[in-house]
Structure 1
Amino acid sequence: MVALILPTSPAPSSMTPRPISSRNEQRPASSGPVNRYMQPGTRWAWDIELPPMTYVRSLEWDDLLSEADTVVMKIHQPGLDIGSPGSPLIDGANQIGRTLNLKGLTPAYAFRKGQWISFPVLGQLFAYKVRTATVVESDGTVALPLLTLLRLPPANNAVVDVAEPKAEGFATVDTSSLQVSVDRFVRLRFTLEERE
């Protein structure tokens, strides 16, 4: 399987993330509390709409039609000034849970709540959201709280993309959006869903 890199332009006119939860939820048959138990496996999907483009330009996005390969796309965070995060790396192997230890960051770099990061595990990119605002220590390390549990433990020293996080997954195209309208423009809509 090959990961196909999608164009970075045009930027989406909308990119709506939604978690695909793996939590275990217990609801009593009668009255009583609902309980939720987190477990690894929650992944993300993005519903994406691109601005109108000419048919010729839309051909650059034909990788979305691949049936067997995943696609990689930049996660757009409009208006978010990423700043200078440094050269972040995973700090320690076999990490699990909702906290990710990183090193190589710019001291005092401030992660925002909801900011995206991504990193590879076994050759596949995984995307996560930061759970709470967190500031990097003076030695460039941080224990970064994540919104969801780590799905697989990353390798020590794996590169973490903070400046331009990316999503990898299978694409499902809204086939009605492939229509070339009377104004000769294509209005492409698709869903990108992480595969694990």
Structure 2
Amino acid sequence: MIELAIDTPKVTVEPAFVDIGMTVRGGTNATGQRVDRPGGHYRAGVTISLGTATQRSALISDLVRGKQEGLRMAFPLQGVDQSGSGAPVMDGADQAGRLINLRALTVGYVIEKGFWLSIADADGQHYLHNVFAGDTVGADGKATITLAEHLRVPFADGAAVHLDQPMIEGDVEGNEQAWRLSRADRVDGISFTIEEAA
């Protein structure tokens, strides 16, 4: 897994939710029945403009390798300050659905609706999630929150939860990775799409 460290403010990210569920309609196009299935995940289209030739070369190298091994990068929080959460972990093994229990949070920390978090499994793979209903951390350092989407894997008790800086991790889409060189010997904005594998 290649961890992409982007040291530039010139980054455009276009996130999207990939819904695995569907609405089933009858032959007469009557009222539909929603079939909600676990497995919804995220992808992000990213365009990066880097200033120095060294930065551009390093990014291209990371993307070529990431195409083969997978890529992980910080998910942009758009100026929302999620810092100070402590060192949260999953409180209990094999949690399922949308409701999750956390522990080892900073007492009094407020998890707001719309916050992002990623949960790392035993192999270190991150799964990105969005908070639908938050909570204020109690004196015991615990909180219960509701996610916007279902958990995709049964995490172990104590699995790390990244609230301060969540990560998106997955495959770089497509069968090739391309970039455009200009006549001024510089690489124009480099674009790629990363989609969670699970």
Compute the TM-score of the two structures, normalised by the length of structure 2: 0.89
In the alignment, what sits opposite 1:93?
93
In the alignment, what sits opposite 1:63?
62
Q: What do you get for the CA RMSD once the two structures are aligned?
A: 1.9
In the alignment, what sits opposite 1:38?
36
Q: Is residue 21 from structure 1 mapped to residue 19 from structure 2 by the alignment?
A: yes
- Following superposition, the deviation at residue 97 of structure 1 comes to 0.3
d(CA) in 2 for partners of 1:60 and 1:119?
Answer: 28
| Aligned partners of 1:58 and 1:186 also within 8 Å | no
Unaligned runs of 5+ in 2: none
Distance 1:11 1:167, change over 3 A: farther
Q: Secondary structure at the match of 1:139?
A: coil
In the alignment, what sits opposite 1:5?
3
Distance 1:31 1:78, change over 3 A: closer
In the alignment, what sits opposite 2:128?
127
- Following superposition, the deviation at residue 71 of structure 1 comes to 0.8
Q: Which amino acid in the other structure matches residue 169 of structure 1? A: G
Q: Which amino acid in the other structure matches residue 171 of structure 2? A: F
- Following superposition, the deviation at residue 110 of structure 1 comes to 1.1
Q: How many residues align?
A: 193
Q: Which amino acid in the other structure matches residue 171 of structure 1? A: V
Q: Is residue 145 from structure 1 mapped to residue 153 from structure 2 by the alignment?
A: no
d(CA) in 1 for partners of 2:157 and 2:24?
Answer: 36
d(CA) in 2 for partners of 1:188 and 1:55?
Answer: 13
- Following superposition, the deviation at residue 112 of structure 1 comes to 2.1
d(CA) in 1 for partners of 2:95 and 2:109?
Answer: 22
Q: Which amino acid in the other structure matches residue 127 of structure 1? A: L
Q: Which amino acid in the other structure matches residue 186 of structure 1? A: D
Distance 1:172 1:65, change over 3 A: farther
- Residue range with higher mean Cα deviation, 160-169 or 115-124: 115-124
Q: Is residue 49 from structure 1 mapped to residue 59 from structure 2 by the alignment?
A: no
Distance 1:163 1:12, change over 3 A: farther
- Residue range with higher mean Cα deviation, 146-155 or 121-130: 121-130
- Following superposition, the deviation at residue 175 of structure 1 comes to 5.1
| Aligned partners of 1:89 and 1:104 also within 8 Å | yes
In the alignment, what sits opposite 1:171?
172
Q: Secondary structure at the match of 2:173?
A: strand
Please list the CA deviations of residues 58-109 of structure 1 after superposition, one character each: whole Å capped at 9, or x if unmatched.
1211221234311110111121112311110110001000011100111221
Please list the CA deviations of residues 157-192 of structure 1 after superposition, one character each: whole Å capped at 9, or x if unmatched.
11111111111111137856x111234242111101
Percent identity of equivalent pairs: 26
| Aligned partners of 1:21 and 1:43 also within 8 Å | yes
| Aligned partners of 2:85 and 2:109 also within 8 Å | yes
Distance 1:75 1:12, change over 3 A: farther
In the alignment, what sits opposite 2:163?
162
Unaligned runs of 5+ in 1: none
Please list the CA deviations of residues 11-66 of structure 1 after superposition, one character each: whole Å capped at 9, or x if unmatched.
45211211111113212221421222222111110111112434432121122123
| Aligned partners of 2:83 and 2:163 also within 8 Å | no
d(CA) in 2 for partners of 1:157 and 1:102?
Answer: 9
Distance 1:150 1:80, change over 3 A: same
